[in-house]
Amino acid sequence: MKLTGDTLGYNFDNVQVDSFWNEGNEDEHKMHRIHTYPAKFPAFITTKAINYSKDNGLKIKTIGDIFCGCGTTSYEARRNGIDFWGCDINPVATLIAEVKSKKYCEETLNSYFEQIIINFDSIKTSDEEIENINERIKFWFCNEQIRDLLRLKKSIYYTIPVRSHYRKFFLCAFSNILKKTSNWLLKSIKPQRDPNKIHYGVKKSFQDQFKLMQIANRESDLSRGTRVKIETVNFLERKFRRPFVDLLITSPPYVTSYEYADLHQLSTLWLDYSEDFKSLRKGTIGSEFNFSDFKNDVKYLNNIGERIVFQLYNFDKSKAKAVARYYIDIQNCICKSYNILNKGGMALFVIGNTELRGVKIDNARHLVESMITVGFSDIDIVRRNISNKFLTPYRDDIGRFTTDRNSRIVYAEEFIVMGRKYGKCL
């Protein structure tokens, strides 16, 4: 559906499901499954977006992703022989993205792996080291697992040079065994301990993870001539001197649904990204903890944002403040996205609506109004069914994601919103 003008006049519920965006034409590469990550969209969307853009006359030299997450778009861009730039505020996400976006020499991988295991078997860890480990790590791991993870981490650092991208490969493998070897309830969408959890062995888990990543690397067919740059930074704080992106493909985080810093806390602590994982909530778009000055925020909300925030304010003032901050951040992201696009460039956003306290959080409509406000043209919006996504359509009583199938179903579809830039930067 083509949109122009005041979005208040359109009924987004009548947007039809477009089968073109529902499924891919080939199996997803194993490289996309080397590390668990919440709410990642299917890899085929990137290829579909490239084909859609080319069919509409766009010449693509560089693809961008301002919420690059675990690197789905970066991997597919490189597969298609297109340069990529992306960023994410989450260092765990950018670690995975960087690893996925490279091709590794199998002989070198095997050599490093064998040496890591040899060093692991010989390295000793003292009781004092275990005693001095971060208290949050002690909460999630038993002493045996802590001891072996310390040995494995030391072995990786000792074996592989600090500047080598092979070190990141093995740290990514280390990261993905943490939930398995901890008391974390697997497949949970929130941090939760499993009192009956079987404690998986660290060495065996690492060996299995390496085999998985080895096979994925063997399968990957990344173009040699492309450039990939991934930055760990808040997009809103990143300075850009000029437009440089031809096609933007991104999926904004969902408001108050996931606390990404919480979900990645094991990796954050073990990889020394922070001594307190909560510090990484700061500045995270969509976080309940990303509060600002509510009285000031509401002054800058667009029409849709203002209407939704004040509807929610009648039921839950705290949630309303979080949503207001989220919408202001999204509006600023849309403006900045417009500015990094080259003239004639296209942006594609994957976004879903949600519900809090019985109030519909109409993210798609807010996004479209934001795009129109900053100058996007030829805006098109389609609906797609959610498939192969670590996301549940169920909500609990206060609107959070849940796996309880007896709860309300409020999220089984999402929107793809596309627009072109023909004007000057703002």
DSSP string computed for 373-390:
HHT-EEEEEEEEE--S-S
**What CATH number should be reported for the domain holding residue 329?**
3.40.50.150
pLDDT value for 401: 56
Asked, for residue 128, whether it belongs to a domain, the answer is yes
The whole-number average pLDDT for the span 309-321 is 91
226 CB-side CA count, 13 A: 24
Residue 278: band (very low, low, confident or very high) from pLDDT cuts 50, 70, 90:
confident
90 CB-side CA count, 13 A: 28
Asked, for residue 276, whether it belongs to a domain, the answer is no
Same domain, 86 and 114: no
Across the chain, mean pLDDT equals: 89
Residue whose pair of structure tokens reads 């079987």 in the numeric block: 198
Rounded CA-CA distance 425/334 in Å is 12
Asked, for residue 390, whether it belongs to a domain, the answer is yes
The whole-number average pLDDT for the span 311-340 is 93
Structural domain total, the chain: 2
Task: Enter the tokens of residue 20.
Answer: 């073109």
Residue 286: band (very low, low, confident or very high) from pLDDT cuts 50, 70, 90:
confident
Same domain, 295 and 211: no
**Helices 44-55 and 72-79, axial angle in degrees (round to 10):** 50
Asked, for residue 331, whether it belongs to a domain, the answer is yes
Q: Are 367 and 358 in contact (CB under 8 A)?
A: no
Same domain, 214 and 240: no
Residue 89 burial (CB count, 10 A): 24
pLDDT in tens, 195-244: 889 889 999 999 999 999 999 999 998 888 899 999 999 999 999 999 99
Same domain, 87 and 153: no
Q: Is residue 276 over pLDDT 50?
A: yes
Same domain, 62 and 125: no
Rounded CA-CA distance 65/337 in Å is 9
Asked, for residue 226, whether it belongs to a domain, the answer is no
Higher pLDDT, 361 or 403: 361
Q: Is residue 368 over pLDDT 60?
A: yes
Lowest mean pLDDT among 218-232, 362-376, 383-397, 402-416: 383-397
Task: Enter the tokens of residue 316.
Answer: 């839950």
Asked, for residue 346, whether it belongs to a domain, the answer is yes
Asked, for residue 274, whether it belongs to a domain, the answer is no
pLDDT value for 2: 61
Same domain, 77 and 158: no
Which domain does 201 fall in, by range?
106-219
Same domain, 189 and 83: no
Q: Which long-range contacts (CB under 8 A, 24 or more apart) does 105-108 make?
A: 106/214, 106/217, 106/218, 108/166
Boundary of a domain, candidates 219, 246, 271: 219
Residue whose pair of structure tokens reads 């942006």 in the numeric block: 347
Asked, for residue 97, whether it belongs to a domain, the answer is no
Same domain, 286 and 404: yes
Same domain, 300 and 343: yes
Residue whose pair of structure tokens reads 């929610």 in the numeric block: 312
Same domain, 117 and 23: no
Same domain, 321 and 176: no
Same domain, 288 and 153: no
pLDDT in tens, 91-126: 999 999 999 999 999 999 999 999 999 999 999 999
pLDDT in tens, 242-275: 999 999 999 998 876 668 888 899 999 999 999 8
Q: Are 336 and 408 in contact (CB under 8 A)?
A: no
pTM of the model: 0.92
Q: Are 365 and 12 in contact (CB under 8 A)?
A: yes
Residue 393: band (very low, low, confident or very high) from pLDDT cuts 50, 70, 90:
low
Task: Enter the tokens of residue 47.
Answer: 């290829």
Residue 388: band (very low, low, confident or very high) from pLDDT cuts 50, 70, 90:
very low
